Structure 1
């Protein structure tokens, strides 16, 4: 197992170029600054992800602001199960013609994706997740999603302040809604979290995570279906594509090639070693699914978009394919993101007169791996 402790400054300044250079080089762990390690070997990634307290501490994004929350614990499992059930119910409850109509409205409005898609997902599935949520509260959630999407690409002081305000309003709206609900989801969360404030934070984290992730997965898949590649210039209009592979296979391949959760984090809490590298408390591991998913030892033509590979996935793919993490802190919304994205893609196929024009050509390696910004345009 190869490793390096070189400090690749390029990773901080131009991650896409750096990652493209490292893909397939066989190096399992590398240091990019003191106490910070980039891990991409399949065995090492799974070892680190398996820990949630010692020697590697995890925080689930959905509950990141809730004090004392330990992913994978006896306390967390029933809440995660309840959330997963609600998310499954939500995507199954929306009829396809409603999805197609919402996509049509979004395309005709000409707002850029993936940002505007987050709002589409909230409109489509939010009423199922939050029945009876007032219009003003739904708007607060929409504003918070828009603020989060904006932070992916620019993070000025003013934008951060506006984002905090938008998120505070969303938390307050969900607090009021949850306090009045007696259904199983708020009950399960109140029993485990203990306060209405924590329930509001967790619900807000949930809707932010699943709507933003699902919108990005959909956008990535739509772009790849239409032949997008890095370097496609601004102003290019990608025409509707005639695809034959099942939507589920295309989603799986988009998540392999451009995993939205491209960099998972673990904090070292006890002296240990990983891949022969000694680690001390306070060190931080960044587990890179982007590199893991492009390992030529596990994938034929790893840099190519080939949905057909999922008809017969390669042997051992489960060890090398971790788009939602692994273990107790794996994404609670994984089924929703994949299945809702596939359902929306099937409806998207009906819009055969909508092209995607490139507005900002580069993906953004932020908290999520965001696709290029595109604007839907009518082609006839």
Structure 2
């Protein structure tokens, strides 16, 4: 069989020790697609990563949601009901819906900067996560957010336990302690949300948030069953702040390392309204350099740097034969370093996302939010939140790293690409 090349000394043990280095070596030495071990392949370049993500029939996403439907006597929602729930959820997450609610998002990003202690080194990811959780949960549930926020935090803890590295991969049917904890937190969140759903429906005041969009009847399928709504919300609730928190860590680190770029962001942000609630989509659109900086950081450090797909049938990829049942690892991290798509790919250059007139441009592949049928449904919300958080931070502060030869963080790659333990200092711009 015509198989992709295998990386010399690229064993699974080496991969487990330093996945980023092995991924770079595989792309450099083997090309578009390479073999990690029998039946496990890595797509390393932009064209092949996009091909896999768009070929849903050949490379479907594995059916293993982080928060699977709860087991109930009435049974889980049908596949058709889950599709309808996704479509209803997207009514509140599409770009137009996000643009209409910028004035609700911006105050949360401003509160983060208000609460950052100045003049001291701070481990910044926990307060980022709290701030983004408040923004995300409020975006989904509006005035009901305060009641649900503690449960959302527990869902995040369950997620962290589930993605923690382990020597053993247990079959899905084994009730490990992490899975039991996940189920308890999912049940608690669902039971806190259930009376909110019933109150809104009985009162007729459905709301204009994402939950309200899911409660509205559709001309195509009518009203969603209650269980389909409840089962579809734990995952997106965590996703509104978990992945953006990782991205925000990288962005703030780059504001510290590239003061000139931070200054350009601050110049743009100076034109934002003094009252964050008065911020509109027009203000967001005017932050062109800030959006370019965010995209460039996400290009270099995609929070979801590795995506898993499984083949359903024998197929061809980049001229190689891939057997049915194989695992294909899609690597945006190396795809974004494909020099054919991004000249000087290791260089931090936000200007690459702008044309000569300073308007947004779209050069090269950008897979930080995925693409194809399973692209990130919260991409518009994430970009809005990250852009406003970046602008508000640069407007108020100079950001710096702690002194010393060692970085004030270490990079983690399990469950996403993150700057664990990141410590930064904020000083007022005056």
Task: For 1:97-112, list aligned pairs within 5 A.
Answer: 98-107=108-117, 112=123
Residues 259, 323 of structure 1: 8 Å contact kept: yes
Q: Paired residue for 1:122, among 125, 130, 133?
A: 133
Counterpart CA distance in 2 for 1:135 and 1:312 is: 42
Unaligned runs of 5+ in 2: 70-76, 168-175, 207-211, 266-288
Q: Does 1:166 align with 2:185?
A: yes
Cα separation, partners in 2 of 1:63 and 1:86, compared to 1, 3 Å: farther
Counterpart CA distance in 2 for 1:46 and 1:134 is: 36
Q: Paired residue for 1:57, among 57, 60, 66?
A: 60
Residues 79, 188 of structure 1: 8 Å contact kept: no
Cα separation, partners in 2 of 1:193 and 1:160, compared to 1, 3 Å: farther
Q: Paired residue for 1:8, among 2, 11, 18?
A: 11
Cα separation, partners in 2 of 1:151 and 1:222, compared to 1, 3 Å: farther
**Paired residue secondary structure (2:422):** strand
Aligned position for 1:232: none
Cα separation, partners in 2 of 1:207 and 1:315, compared to 1, 3 Å: closer
Residues 62, 202 of structure 1: 8 Å contact kept: no
Counterpart CA distance in 2 for 1:332 and 1:189 is: 21
Deviation at 1:98, TM superposition (A): 4.9
Aligned position for 2:327: 284
Higher alpha-carbon deviation: 177-186 or 366-375: 177-186
Aligned position for 2:363: 317
Alignment root-mean-square deviation, CA: 3.9
When the two structures are aligned, how many residues end up with a matched partner?
368
Aligned position for 1:261: 304
Unaligned runs of 5+ in 1: 229-238
Task: For 1:22-61, list aligned pairs within 5 A.
Answer: 22-25=26-29, 27-52=31-56, 54-58=57-61
**Paired residue secondary structure (2:321):** strand
Q: Does 1:93 align with 2:93?
A: no
Residues 33, 318 of structure 2: 8 Å contact kept: yes
Q: Does 1:349 align with 2:350?
A: no
Aligned position for 1:207: 237
Higher alpha-carbon deviation: 276-285 or 66-75: 66-75
Counterpart CA distance in 2 for 1:360 and 1:151 is: 26
**Paired residue secondary structure (1:130):** helix
Counterpart CA distance in 1 for 2:81 and 2:58 is: 14
Aligned position for 2:214: 186
TM-score normalized by structure 1? 0.80
Residues 40, 287 of structure 1: 8 Å contact kept: yes
Counterpart CA distance in 1 for 2:179 and 2:96 is: 31
Q: Does 1:244 align with 2:264?
A: yes
**Paired residue secondary structure (1:226):** helix
